[in-house]
């Protein structure tokens, strides 16, 4: 139907053309197209432009069929279905009525195609192979083929990777990834503007490849350790990734990313150790790669016991095992001396991680450590072994009057636990039970002490240290004799002769010096200075080291002052004392064995010299005072008892006894003014000596100046301080 209407349309346009051209006597062939595909109709109108007889010829041969005369000036040639044979040169010839003749020619081309037939529009090649992409074109009379990619023609030049072969096939030599894409096969009817193109896809496939970032991975096991294994794959089409693992997949432990190129193992444990194979597979092939995962474990140490309390002599064994990967080495170490215990035999030995100590001794006490040693780290665990302390060695023992002192030069071995106390024991004979006290360890070098012993007594003493395990072995037994007790501070202590009165003598004890001797008769007091000779009679067998001097004013609240004198000193001299004051002095001699009993001495200092006076002046003043005193005494004596000098004078004057007055001669004893004078002439403030060192002597005469019936009495005893003793021996 549509064909017919198109035909009518064409006819109408032809007629219009004829009308336009009018009556011009011009001859022509009118046709709709000169290139006619096979099978289509061909219509030609020959217009003569004048009346005449019109004839048609093809390639010089007359044709009668398919020709029709429309009117005197127009003829039509029509073929329903063109065939290749219809192509040719058509001539329209007219013999005009007026005798003229004319002709006009027209070339009609018939073609078929081009057609791509069964040409494949999709090709896949494996990377690296040679690819052929044919373009199967048919067409008549002939077809020219061109290949294009991205608007550029692909040449036929040999030697190019991609080229156009003479048989219209596209050849891709050694297909590369970039050769993939859309190609276009362009076909053209030779010499005619008739063409067609076909788009052809080329796909380049590639084998899967697997690339690893690391083939060996080392991690430390632990709940906090996550490890990620990465498998980088390539290939076309995109390969699928699968993993083979040393253990079954567990979604709580293993995790993949979306394309499975990444495997994460959470909380890596020892069981995760092994080979992880990542396989990439596509339709071309498959490929795999292996990651080795090494899982190390931090070393750990287990000991069977961490604190062991045992008695000396017992046996002990502590086992230790170590874990970790790689398997750690096991070492036992004595932390006290840092020694590795590696003997496999003996009293202390280690076999298969078991530390054995047979017959524990106190020095075994202490900290031990079982160590796990690996290249990547160490671990250790301590074991404390506690036993009783060792016996005290390096001990010296010193007796006192009622005590025994122990000096420890070094503390005993503590058995692994601090020494809490010492047991001190004593007895007088082997038959006796030991008596003991427990005492805290002394600070510093202070001695330990047994007190309340009897003086001058032989004792056996010993001691042992104690820790939480109890007392350790006792020291060797020492035999000591206690000293005597000092009695020096008593009043009743008197000795002869007067000039060397020393303090107590005690029986010479081993070692310590005797008390120093103070020559009291040679002591000197000059105002606030004091000096006294010093002598050492017995150094106790060991050279003296020095003298300790201490002195203090004899009143409440004063402090002892101390000084030392060298062992060669032969006197003590003190300066800058207070005037007219009583002082106490103590002197001890020291040697390597200890100190003597102190020698004790009391003295009183002199007065401050008031002013510079001549000796005569002083004598005069003293005389006057004395005279006044004498007169007062005598007067009162005379008055009360009718005695004294005044009485004598009175009697002499009056020649008779004055009634009521007693004669001087009647007085008991013969103490007279001379004696008194002698006594009183001692300078004011002379020493008042009392106590042990008081220079006393039996038969001393002590004058008591009283105005009594018996003014002059004899005493054998030292009197309180208001006495005025004189040594007139
Ligand atoms: C084109 O030519 C090549 C080599 O000359 C040949 O291998 C190929 O098979 C031919 N292709 C076609 C479609 O004839
Ligand atoms: C390990 O992975 C888990 C879960 O993915 C996460 O919660 C944790 O924080 C990770 N640990 C470390 C140390 O990255
Ligand atoms: C990995 O590939 C090799 C050959 O390339 C093959 O022998 C092996 O079986 C593969 N392994 C796995 C786990 O697929
Ligand atoms: C190590 O010792 C601990 C406790 O003593 C024990 O639980 C563990 O099983 C031991 N391990 C080995 C490997 O012997
Ligand atoms: C582990 O112990 C060994 C031997 O005791 C020592 O040489 C090494 O330095 C220690 N390593 C570490 C990491 O502490
Ligand atoms: C020395 O004086 C003090 C205090 O007055 C007294 O206790 C002590 O017994 C006196 N010493 C001697 C040896 O007289």
Read off the pLDDT of residues 227-251 as tens digits, 9 standing for 90 and up: 999 999 999 999 999 999 999 999 9
Whether 404 contacts 480, CB under 8 Å = yes
What pLDDT shows up at residue 670? 41
Nearest CA to ligand 2 atom 14: 226
Range with the poorest average pLDDT among 122-131, 597-606, 648-657 = 648-657
> Is residue 666 packed enough to be buried (19+ CB in 10 Å), middle (13-18) or exposed (0-12)?
exposed
Strand ranges for 440-570 from DSSP E: 448-450, 458-467, 470-471, 478-481, 517-518, 524-526, 529-535, 544-553, 561-566
The architecture (CATH level 2) of 213-296 comes to: Sandwich (2.60)
Q: Can you count the helices (H) and strands (E) in the chain?
A: 4, 50
Is the CB of 192 inside a 6 Å radius of any atom of ligand 2?
Answer: no
d(C-alpha 251, C-alpha 175), whole Å: 42
Spell out the CATH class of 2-112.
Answer: mainly beta
Mean pLDDT of the chain: 80
Residue 226 has pLDDT above 90, yes or no: yes
Whether 90 contacts 58, CB under 8 Å = yes
Provide the residue ranges of all domains of the chain, joining segments of one domain with +: 2-112, 116-206, 213-296, 304-386, 395-481, 673-729
d(C-alpha 420, C-alpha 465), whole Å: 8
Whether 366 contacts 285, CB under 8 Å = no
Is the CB of 591 inside a 6 Å radius of any atom of ligand 3?
Answer: no
Is the CB of 279 inside a 6 Å radius of any atom of ligand 3?
Answer: yes
Is the CB of 302 inside a 6 Å radius of any atom of ligand 4?
Answer: yes
Residue 611 has pLDDT above 70, yes or no: no
Fill in the DSSP letter of residue 413.
Answer: P
Is the CB of 485 inside a 6 Å radius of any atom of ligand 3?
Answer: no
The residue to mutate among 231, 245, 281, 288, having the most atoms of ligand 3 within 8 angstroms of its beta carbon, is 288
Q: Which of 228, 302, 286 is nearest to 261 (CA)?
A: 228
CA distance to 37, 194, 532, per residue, from 439 (Å): 136, 130, 43
d(C-alpha 563, C-alpha 447), whole Å: 24
What pLDDT shows up at residue 695? 36
Geometric angle at alpha carbon 350, from 344 and 353, rounded to 5°: 130
d(C-alpha 329, C-alpha 374), whole Å: 7
Q: How confident is the model at residue 651 (pLDDT cuts 50, 70, 90)?
A: low
CA of 306 relative to ligand 4 center, distance in Å:
14
Ligand that comes closest to the CA of residue 552 = 6
Whether 318 contacts 383, CB under 8 Å = yes
Fold for domain 395-481? Immunoglobulin-like (2.60.40)
d(C-alpha 130, C-alpha 117), whole Å: 24
Q: State the first-to-last Cα distance of the chain, in angstroms, to the nearest integer.
A: 188
d(C-alpha 103, C-alpha 122), whole Å: 54
Fill in the DSSP letter of residue 442.
Answer: P
Is the CB of 555 inside a 6 Å radius of any atom of ligand 6?
Answer: no
What pLDDT shows up at residue 648? 63
Beta bridge partners of 377: 374
Ligand that comes closest to the CA of residue 689 = 6
Nearest CA to ligand 1 atom 1: 167
Ligand that comes closest to the CA of residue 321 = 4
3-state SS of 306-323? CEEECCCCCCEEEEEEEE
* CATH 2.60.120.10 for domain 304-386: no
Fill in the DSSP letter of residue 409.
Answer: S
Top pLDDT among 120 and 544 is at 120
The domains spanning 213-296 and 395-481 adopt the same CATH topology: yes
CA of 302 relative to ligand 4 center, distance in Å:
6
Q: What is the mean pLDDT of residues 475-489?
A: 72
Residue 490 has pLDDT above 60, yes or no: no
What pLDDT shows up at residue 72? 80
Measured from the Cα of 288, ligand 3's closest atom is 1
Is the CB of 167 inside a 6 Å radius of any atom of ligand 1?
Answer: yes
Residues with Cβ within 8 Å of 470's Cβ and at least 6 positions away in sequence, in order, are 388
- The Cβ of residue 44 has, within 10 Å, a number of other Cβ atoms equal to 22
Residue 24 has pLDDT above 50, yes or no: no
Q: Which of 693, 678, 689 is nearest to 719 (CA)?
A: 689
CATH code of the domain made up of 116-206: 2.60.40.10
- Chain segment 565-590, per-residue pLDDT in tens: 988 888 999 988 989 889 999 898 88
Radius of gyration of the chain (CA): 74
**Structure tokens that stand for 390 in this block:** 């060792």
Strand ranges for 80-130 from DSSP E: 88-96, 101-115, 122-126
Across the chain, which distance is largest between two alpha carbons, in Å?
246
- Chain segment 309-339, per-residue pLDDT in tens: 999 999 999 999 999 988 999 999 999 899 9
Top pLDDT among 657 and 672 is at 657
- Chain segment 433-474, per-residue pLDDT in tens: 999 999 998 776 678 889 888 888 899 999 999 999 999 999
Beta bridge partners of 517: 535
Q: What is the mean pLDDT of residues 109-128?
A: 93
> Among positive and negative, which fits the CA dihedral 640, 646, 651, 653?
negative
Residue ranges lining ligand 5, Cβ < 6 Å: 373, 377-378
Is the CB of 591 inside a 6 Å radius of any atom of ligand 6?
Answer: no
Q: Which of 188, 187, 184, 217 is nearest to 202 (CA)?
A: 184
Q: Which of 439, 294, 298 is nearest to 379 (CA)?
A: 298
Whether 242 contacts 254, CB under 8 Å = no
Whether 103 contacts 90, CB under 8 Å = no
Measured from the Cα of 226, ligand 2's closest atom is 1
What pLDDT shows up at residue 487? 39
Exposure of 576 in the CB half-sphere (CA atoms within 13 A): 1
């Amino acid at each position: 139907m549509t064909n017919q209407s198109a035909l009518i349309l064409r006819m109408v346009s032809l007629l219009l053309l004829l009308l336009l051209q009018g009556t011009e006597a011009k001859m022509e062939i009118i046709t709709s197209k000169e290139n006619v595909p096979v099978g289509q109709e061909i219509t030609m109108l020959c217009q003569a432009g004048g009346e005449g007889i019109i004839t048609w010829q093809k390639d010089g041969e007359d044709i009668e069929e398919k020709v029709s005369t429309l009117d005197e000036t127009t003829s039509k040639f029509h073929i329903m279905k063109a065939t290749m044979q219809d192509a040719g040169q058509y001539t329209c010839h007219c013999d005009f009525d007026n005798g003229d003749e004319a002709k006009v020619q027209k070339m009609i081309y018939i073609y078929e195609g081009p057609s791509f037939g069964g040409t494949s529009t999709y090709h896949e090649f494996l990377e690296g192979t040679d690819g052929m992409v044919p373009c199967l074109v048919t067409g008549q009379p002939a077809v020219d083929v061109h290949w294009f990619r991205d608007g550029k023609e692909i040449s036929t030049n040999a030697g190019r990777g991609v080229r156009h072969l003479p048989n219209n096939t596209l050849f891709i030599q050694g297909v590369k990834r970039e050769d993939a894409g859309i190609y276009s096969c362009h076909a053209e009817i030779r010499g005619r503007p008739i063409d067609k193109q076909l788009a052809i896809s080329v796909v380049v496939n590639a084998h899967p490849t697997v690339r690893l970032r690391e083939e060996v991975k080392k991690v430390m096991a632990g709940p906090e350790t996550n490890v990620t294994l990465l498998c980088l794959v390539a290939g076309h089409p995109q390969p699928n990734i699968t993993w083979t693992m040393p253990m079954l997949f567990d979604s709580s432990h293993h995790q993949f990313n979306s394309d499975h190129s990444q495997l994460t193992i959470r909380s890596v444990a020892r069981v995760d150790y092994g080979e992880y194979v990542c396989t990439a597979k596509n339709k071309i092939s498959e490929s795999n790669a292996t990651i080795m995962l090494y899982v190390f474990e931090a070393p750990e140490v287990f000991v069977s016991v961490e604190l062991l309390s045992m008695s000396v002599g017992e046996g002990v064994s502590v086992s230790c095992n170590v874990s970790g990967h790689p398997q750690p080495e096991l070492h036992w170490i004595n932390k006290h001396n840092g020694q590795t215990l590696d003997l496999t035999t003996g009293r202390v030995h280690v076999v298969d991680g078991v530390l054995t100590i047979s017959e524990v001794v106190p020095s075994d006490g202490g900290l031990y450590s079982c160590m796990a040693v690996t290249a990547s780290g160490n671990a250790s665990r301590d074991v404390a072994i506690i036993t009783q302390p060792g016996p005290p060695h390096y001990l010296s023992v010193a007796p006192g009057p009622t005590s025994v002192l122990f000096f420890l030069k070094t503390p005993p071995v503590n058995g692994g636990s601090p020494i809490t106390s010492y047991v001190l024991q004593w007895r007088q004979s082997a038959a006796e039970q030991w008596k003991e006290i427990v005492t805290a360890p002394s600070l510093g070098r202070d001695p330990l002490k047994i007190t309340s012993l009897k003086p001058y007594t032989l004792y056996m003493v010993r001691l042992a240290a104690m820790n939480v395990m109890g007392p350790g072995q006792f020291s060797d037994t020492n035999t000591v004799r206690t000293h005597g007790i000092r009695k020096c501070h008593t009043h009743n202590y008197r000795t002869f002769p007067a000039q060397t009165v020393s303090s107590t003598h005690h029986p010479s004890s081993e070692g310590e010096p005797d008390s120093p001797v103070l020559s009291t008769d040679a002591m000197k007091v000059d105002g606030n200075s004091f000096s006294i000779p010093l002598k050492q009679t017995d150094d106790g067998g060991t050279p003296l080291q020095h003298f300790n001097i201490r002195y203090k004013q004899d009143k409440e609240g004063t402090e002892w002052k101390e000084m030392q004198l060298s062992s060669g000193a032969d006197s003590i001299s003190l300066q800058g004392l207070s005037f007219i004051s009583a002082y106490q002095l103590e002197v001890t001699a020291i040697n390597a064995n200890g100190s003597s009993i102190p020698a004790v001495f009391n003295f009183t200092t002199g007065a401050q010299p008031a002013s510079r006076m001549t000796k005569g002046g002083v004598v005069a003043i003293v005389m006057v005072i004395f005279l006044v005193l004498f007169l007062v005494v005598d007067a009162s004596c005379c008055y009360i008892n009718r005695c004294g000098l005044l009485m004598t004078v009175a009697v002499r004057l009056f020649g008779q006894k004055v009634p009521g007055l007693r004669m001087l001669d009647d007085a008991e004893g013969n103490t007279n003014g001379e004696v008194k004078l002698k006594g009183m002439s001692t300078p004011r403030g002379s020493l008042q000596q009392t106590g042990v060192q008081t220079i006393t002597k039996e038969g001393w005469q002590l004058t008591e100046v009283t105005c009594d019936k018996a003014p002059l009495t004899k005493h054998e005893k030292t009197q309180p301080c208001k006495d005025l003793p004189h040594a007139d021996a």
